Amino acid sequence: MKEKKEKIVEAVVALILCFPILLLKGYIFSSVWRWFIVPPFNAPELPVGQAIGILIVSGIFKMDLFLKLNEIQDIKLSNSNSLTNQITLIVAWLVFWGMSALFHIWI
């Protein structure tokens, strides 16, 4: 019973964090696009909304590939520590953004 409540709480927290995380990822992707794609290729700037759309579409393909690889390797998906995984991904995106900003300044 306690385990079921913990899973429900994790699901609710993940759902609540979903939208701010998506906005953060969209902002980071838009910034990196503006820094590295617009100047050399004279490409149009990418608004945050469109960046989120691209992330969602690429995420669909990434998830499909991930599921196929798991079927091939016969690995079961587990949702244990999903909150820890979300926090790790947020930190990874922020580190990626910081490194990109430093590289942009260096160029």
Measured CA to CA in angstroms, residue 72 lies from 15, 31, 58, 61, 79 at distances of: 29, 36, 21, 17, 19
The pLDDT tens digits of the residues spanning 18-50 come to 888 889 999 999 999 999 999 999 999 999 999
For the cut 60, the answer to whether the pLDDT of residue 78 exceeds it is: no
Query: Residue 6 pLDDT more than 70?
Result: yes
* Host domain of residue 60: 2-106
* Average pLDDT value for the chain: 81
pTM comes to 0.70
pLDDT for residue 70: 60
In this structure, the chain runs to a length of: 107
Tally of structural domains, the chain? 1
Q: Is the pLDDT of residue 87 over 90?
A: no
Are 45 and 33 spatial neighbours (Cβ–Cβ below 8 Å)?
A: yes
In Å, how far from its chain's centre is CA 88? Answer: 10
